[in-house]
Structure 1
Amino acid sequence: MKPTTLTLLLAGSGLAAQANADFLADSKAKLELRNFYFNRDYRQAGAAQSKQEEWAQGFLLRYESGYTDGMVGVGVDALGLLGVKLDSSPDRAGSGLLKRDNEAPRRAKDEYGELGLTAKFKASNSVLKLGTLTPKLPVLVANDSRLLPQTFRGGQLNVQEFKGLTFDAGRVDRVNQRDSSDYEKMGITTTGAKGIVSGQARSDAFDFASLAYQWNDRLNTSYSYGGLDDFYHQHQVNLVHVLPLAEGQSLKSDLRYARSTDDGSSNIDNNALGAMFTYALGGHALGLGYQRMSGDTGFAYVNGSDAFLVNFVQIGDFANKDERSWQARYDYNFAALGIPGLTFMTRYLSGDNIDLGAGTPEGSEWERDTDIGYVVQDGPLKNLGLKWRNATVRTAHFGSDLNENRLILSYTLALW
């Protein structure tokens, strides 16, 4: 073998070893155990189902590799999800915790799961991901409020080449709901009284783009576009400002506006205006919010996802046709009393002026939520969390009256 050939082979081996070292040395993995009890009692007369009550154990394995060396680094992420039934019955199923049979009586399956893989490519401070995604953008927020998270299939580009400026763009074509193991086409939410009519049942393309700029430690602004093919186009703007008032005091302003129009096969026409102001003093935080819907329909968003609205809460979104709603919220962090990890939240929301159609009285609703949570801060049980979530909902002339309790026990273990 010629010396030059040997030199090239050794050099190539060294580069490969370095690339492999970066890929593995910068990787990390963690396992989250999530034990979830869900109880929802329907209180209105004539309810088709009197109760949803299920108990399940979830396993969430998240792996993120580093990147290979070179101008364009290559890596892979993996998301392993498994849900196991602990208690359910056909007359109590449908909580969103467990996958169900398609045929009556629609029993919850003993277990269900998903393995999601994502290829990623990094150049400078820009990353392209292809595969399983859990987007957290104003126009598309993956839901993670049950046993396992909602996931999407597609591609997303994240660019952070300039200080303070973040750009995201991409497309997703399928969604895997939080109680499913199958990817399917996307629809829009049908809850509430939004008055939305469409000639299409599902779409196989959601395009998005988002531009956010952090002006300084106090001010952040963003513009986002989302379009569900054959359903709607949506433009959103958001401004968040934190004003220091004195030592340990601040006033946070969160202003949001969204304009939604149809995309040929629906009647979607909505303006959504929201504002939330939060005064913080030590461990206390008091918030007041207002949200207003106008236009021919209520607010549209991808089915199963979260809506980027100030009054999108545990049960309701307060986004029905012509609805006006307000919110009062109080939070307390017990770290101020020397008990870090213990938190409390309670809020009350009321909505009215809901257009239910000609000849029908205006609809109204209210919701009261309370959360109490504790996360162990140190010792052998560090990262063990317990949360109780309680909600009460009452409606007039539409929707469901219900009482709900969720008990969530979680533990996150870093594997490496």
Structure 2
Amino acid sequence: MSQSPLARAVALAALGSCLTLPSLAQAEFIKDSKATIEARNFYFNRDFRQDGGSLANGQSKQDEWAQGFILRLDSGFTEGTVGFGADAIGTFGFKLDSGDGTSGSGLLVPDKSGGSQDNHSDLALAAKVKVSKSTLRVGAMQFKNQAISSSDLRLLPQIFQAGHLVSQEIEGLTLDMGHVREMNDRNSNDYQDISLTTGGRRGITVTGTNATDSFSFLGGSYKVTSDLTAGYYHSKLEDMYKQNSFSLVHVLPLADKQTLKTDLRYARSTDEGRSNIDNKALGAMITYGIQGHSLGLGYQKMSGDTGFAYINGTDPFLVNYVQIGDFANKDEKSWQARYDFNFASIGIPGLTFMTRYLTGDNVELGANRSEGKEWERNTELMYVFQEGALKNLGVRWRNASVRSNFANDIDENRLIVSYTLPLL
């Protein structure tokens, strides 16, 4: 898609505001730069189906509608042995509808009266330096690895203040290390200390405050063969937990347009001073693909004295983490059956469908209580226009139902309409 002169001017002006260097005009810095702006319209409805409403506050439903804009700028690097550059994420969200007593969806920033603020915004900047095939970033950024994965499942994304080094000097090997000191959550307009997820029936307790200003990780992935990738990460949330996570992903080509993908995950979490964390998390997902169809079967098991530990608000490294639940309570065992279909295989590119069902049991509920059980069903239908005036416009409907004998019973719908405009 070609960009208009106005779009290019906006992107270049934004790049100029992110970085002031004598070498800004160098060709590689501009030529390798990328910029997009996404308009995201998000409607969220969650009904609490049990008598009395939400177990947390008695709320009967969360129902909010909001509009967001996300500007992403990734510059190239200046020429020379050491290259310099800058990245930026600009966000702006505002309320379209949020009636009395229906806030708390995670789309908008809460206000002191129990409702939601009318709007919120942020400009997150990061400087970067590249030497050979190694890149260091310092500032605001998102992550996507086994140790920490930023959530982007609401109106605006979760962003961290951090330092991050990625090295790919050896073919097939990616080394990854970072240190995080603050996070700006999906429904927040300022940076805060990093907190630990303790909800559900995890059995996790913390002495003192449930937050810290230090999270570190070191690890990476290695492409053993063209079909097999192995990963390992060591991470530490200061005073909360230490974690070692392992992964193996194998994609076996079968007959024409057929594959068998195996995704194995294991994480060992232990306490780090002020918590009682002790967890082993084992997960496996096997997916058979044929033409546009995919059929998957997953299994996840928690063992140890607590449930799984991860940073609050992030996407955890679990095969059974889905739209609402993570099936990571103390001693929980869970199964997943999933089906996907890509309509491109029958001549309708851009249209996809997914449905899955998960069931979990054996949750530790304490003395004199039967075992905890829960199930969740998800359905998703999405279409992205491929050409014409509406090219890059995406419409997504996500539906979920949850039933449990120890947590909230929930029916949920999310409708997301998004449009991404390339600027550079």
Q: Into which bin does the TM-score normalised by the smaller protein fall?
A: over 0.9
Does 2:158 correspond to 1:150? yes
Summarize the Cα distance change of 1:183–1:218 in structure 2 as closer, same or farther, 3 Å threshold.
Answer: same
Q: Is the 8 A contact 1:90 1:108 kept in 2?
A: no
| 1:97 alignment partner, one of 104, 107, 111 | 107
Distance, in Å, in 1 between the alignment partners of 2:198 and 2:278 is 15
Alignment match, 2:332: 323
CA RMSD of aligned residues (A): 1.2
Alignment match, 1:51: 61
Query: Aligned with 1:92: secondary structure?
Result: coil
Read off the aligned partner of 1:73 and give its amino acid letter. Answer: G
Does 2:34 correspond to 1:28? yes
Query: Aligned with 1:140: secondary structure?
Result: coil
Distance, in Å, in 1 between the alignment partners of 2:138 and 2:422 is 25
Q: Is the 8 A contact 2:268 2:281 kept in 1?
A: yes
Identity among equivalent pairs (%): 58
Aligned pairs (5 A) from 1:118-129: 118-129=126-137
Summarize the Cα distance change of 1:29–1:322 in structure 2 as closer, same or farther, 3 Å threshold.
Answer: same
| 1:345 alignment partner, one of 350, 354, 365 | 354
| 1:312 alignment partner, one of 306, 309, 321 | 321
Does 2:279 correspond to 1:270? yes
Q: CA deviation at 1:112?
A: 0.3
Per-residue CA deviations over 1:353-393 (Å, capped at 9, x if unaligned) read 00011222211100000000000111221111000000000
Distance, in Å, in 1 between the alignment partners of 2:318 and 2:257 is 28
Summarize the Cα distance change of 1:358–1:172 in structure 2 as closer, same or farther, 3 Å threshold.
Answer: same
Does 2:371 correspond to 1:362? yes
Aligned pairs (5 A) from 1:9-408: 20-47=26-53, 48-101=58-111, 103-104=112-113, 106-200=114-208, 201-396=210-405, 398-408=406-416
Per-residue CA deviations over 1:133-173 (Å, capped at 9, x if unaligned) read 10101110000000000011010000011111001101001
Q: Is the 8 A contact 1:137 1:210 kept in 2?
A: no
Distance, in Å, in 2 between the alignment partners of 1:167 and 1:359 is 48
Query: Aligned with 2:212: secondary structure?
Result: coil
Distance, in Å, in 1 between the alignment partners of 2:97 and 2:198 is 28
For the pair shown, which has the larger CA radius of gyration, 1 or 2? 1
Distance, in Å, in 1 between the alignment partners of 2:122 and 2:22 is 32
**TM-score, normalised relative to structure 1:** 0.94
Unpaired stretches in structure 1, ≥5 consecutive residues: 1-14
Query: Aligned with 1:23: secondary structure?
Result: helix
Per-residue CA deviations over 1:32-82 (Å, capped at 9, x if unaligned) read 000000000000111210000000000000111111112211101111000
Q: Is the 8 A contact 1:298 1:322 kept in 2?
A: yes
Distance, in Å, in 1 between the alignment partners of 2:287 and 2:36 is 34
Report how many aligned residue pairs link the two structures.
399
Q: Is the 8 A contact 2:231 2:246 kept in 1?
A: yes
Read off the aligned partner of 2:396 and give its amino acid letter. Answer: K
Per-residue CA deviations over 1:239-280 (Å, capped at 9, x if unaligned) read 000111211111100000000000011000000000000011
Query: Aligned with 1:193: secondary structure?
Result: coil
Alignment match, 1:10: none
